[in-house]
């Protein structure tokens, strides 16, 4: 058999095997070449042509290679076919072989025996989906994108005593409160774990400090979501009628994000939906030990009991007690802003 005859025969057999069995082109080509080589060996040895049985994979079963060839014209002429597009199969993960989960090699009786764990490739895929789902919440942090621990405003003007929650705090005590809160926030962003509860009067700097924590953590490569409590509830409620990112997916993304900052806790409307969703989110992050930062104008005993109980158990309370920055005369605020590049208080922002 000449090379000009061999090539058309191989191509013809490949097409027939692929169309009849659904095998890939590589597999069909291997079978077709084996068939032709076997036929050549049988012809040289004077034996009837045998078959490896690829036709048995086809339906109906009586259809064979020889019966197919009786219908095809045998042309002793060169034949050209256009190249067929090759389907590139994605490379499977070497750890889980593309399944997305794996089991640990532990003996029977071990707590992890027969337990499935998500692979790193699966976690990366889930994180990318969560980031897309939570993208709309990024607008809130954009207002405070220039907030950093370095420009928190430890030298801001404090000229009066502060009366708050039955306490009277001197200027020195207010300054000490800001310095300690800043130091604790700086220690937290180095390795965020556990919960922080920033509380203090309106305008003391809680929002700005929480935004600085979020920005600093993001700069260190952590996945962070920042939102106000009212904005969070509006975001979840919008998922009820959203088929693309329904409520369940929004909940799961908020539960899984490694660092979540919830500003102005307790200022959301008191409805059954809001109370249930906030309590559920707090409980899930508590169970999974996700880093979470809250800000609030009051001590946590003013919050609904279901969430307050978890916060009281695991959160580190940090008092940010200082006279409202917004109450300073504009000339004094402007003088301070020259020292604080990008300070958001010049736009009336920050708690």
pLDDT, residue 41, reads: 64
Is 283 among the domain residues? yes
- What letter would DSSP give residue 14? H
Nearest to 351 by CA among 241, 280, 273, 263: 263
Same domain (yes/no): 154, 296: yes
Is 76 among the domain residues? no
Cis upstream peptide for 60 (omega within 30°): yes
pLDDT, residue 3, reads: 37
CATH at 262? 3.40.50.300
pLDDT, residue 181, reads: 96
Is 336 among the domain residues? yes
Same domain (yes/no): 301, 253: yes
Of 82, 102, 129, which residue constitutes the final position of a domain? 129
Residue 73 has pLDDT above 50, yes or no: yes
Instruction: Over range 260-286, report the average pLDDT.
Output: 95
Same domain (yes/no): 176, 219: yes
Q: Are 32 and 13 in contact (CB under 8 A)?
A: yes
Same domain (yes/no): 119, 158: no
Same domain (yes/no): 166, 44: no
The 10s digit of each residue's pLDDT in 278-326 is: 999 999 999 999 999 999 999 988 898 888 999 999 999 999 999 887 7
Of 129, 146, 181, which residue constitutes the final position of a domain? 129
Is 159 among the domain residues? yes
Is 213 among the domain residues? yes
Is 81 among the domain residues? no
Those residues with Cβ within 8 angstroms of residue 153's Cβ, 6 or more apart along the chain or in another chain: 178, 205, 208, 325, 336, 340, 343, 345
Is 74 among the domain residues? no
- What letter would DSSP give residue 272? H
Same domain (yes/no): 59, 159: no
Same domain (yes/no): 204, 161: yes
Same domain (yes/no): 264, 335: yes
- Which residues pair with residue 198 across a beta bridge? 295, 318
Query: Encoding tokens for residue 111?
Result: 């707590």
Which range marks the domain in which residue 26 is found? Answer: 3-69
Rounded distance, CA 203 to CA 197, Å?
Answer: 16
User: How many distinct structural domains can be found in the chain?
Assistant: 3
pLDDT, residue 57, reads: 41
Same domain (yes/no): 100, 165: no
Instruction: Over range 231-249, report the average pLDDT.
Output: 93
Is 167 among the domain residues? yes
Same domain (yes/no): 154, 252: yes
Same domain (yes/no): 19, 125: no
Backbone angles phi, psi at 313, to 5 degrees: -75, -45
If pLDDT is split at 50, 70 and 90, which confidence band does 6 have? very low
Cα radius of gyration rounded to whole Å, the chain? 34
If pLDDT is split at 50, 70 and 90, which confidence band does 51 have? very low
Same domain (yes/no): 111, 138: no
If pLDDT is split at 50, 70 and 90, which confidence band does 194 have? very high
């Amino acid at each position: 058999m000449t090379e000009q005859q061999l090539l058309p025969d191989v191509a013809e057999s490949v097409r027939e095997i692929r169309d009849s069995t659904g095998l890939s082109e590589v597999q069909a080509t291997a079978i077709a070449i084996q068939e032709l080589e076997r036929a050549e060996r049988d012809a040289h040895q004077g034996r009837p042509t045998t078959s490896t049985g690829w036709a048995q994979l086809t339906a109906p079963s009586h259809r064979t290679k020889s019966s197919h060839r009786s219908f095809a014209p045998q042309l002793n002429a060169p034949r050209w076919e256009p190249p067929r597009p090759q389907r590139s199969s994605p490379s499977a993960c070497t750890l889980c072989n593309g399944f997305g989960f794996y089991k640990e090699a532990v003996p029977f009786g071990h707590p992890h025996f027969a337990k499935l764990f998500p692979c790193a490739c699966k976690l990366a895929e889930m994180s990318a989906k969560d980031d897309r789902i939570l993208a709309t919440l990024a607008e809130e942090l954009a207002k405070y994108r220039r907030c950093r621990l370095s420009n928190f405003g430890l030298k801001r003007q404090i000229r009066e005593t502060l009366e708050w929650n039955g306490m009277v705090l001197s200027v020195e005590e207010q300054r000490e409160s800001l310095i300690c809160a800043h130091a604790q926030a700086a220690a937290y962003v180095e390795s965020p774990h556990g919960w922080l509860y920033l509380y203090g009067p309106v305008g003391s700097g809680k929002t700005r400090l929480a935004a600085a924590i979020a920005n600093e953590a993001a700069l260190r490569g952590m996945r962070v979501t920042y939102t106000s409590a009212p904005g969070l509830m509006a975001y979840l409620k919008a998922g009820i009628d959203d088929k693309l990112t329904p409520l369940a997916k929004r909940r799961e993304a908020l539960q899984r994000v490694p660092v979540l900052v919830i500003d102005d806790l307790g200022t959301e409307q008191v409805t059954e939906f809001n109370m249930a969703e906030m309590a559920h989110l707090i409980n899930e992050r508590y169970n999974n030990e996700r880093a979470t930062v809250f800000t609030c104008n009051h001590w946590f005993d003013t919050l609904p009991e279901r969430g307050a109980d978890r916060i009281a158990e695991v959160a580190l309370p940090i008092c940010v007690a200082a006279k409202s920055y917004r109450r300073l005369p504009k000339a004094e605020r402007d003088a301070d802003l020259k020292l604080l590049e990008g300070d958001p208080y010049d736009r009336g922002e920050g708690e």
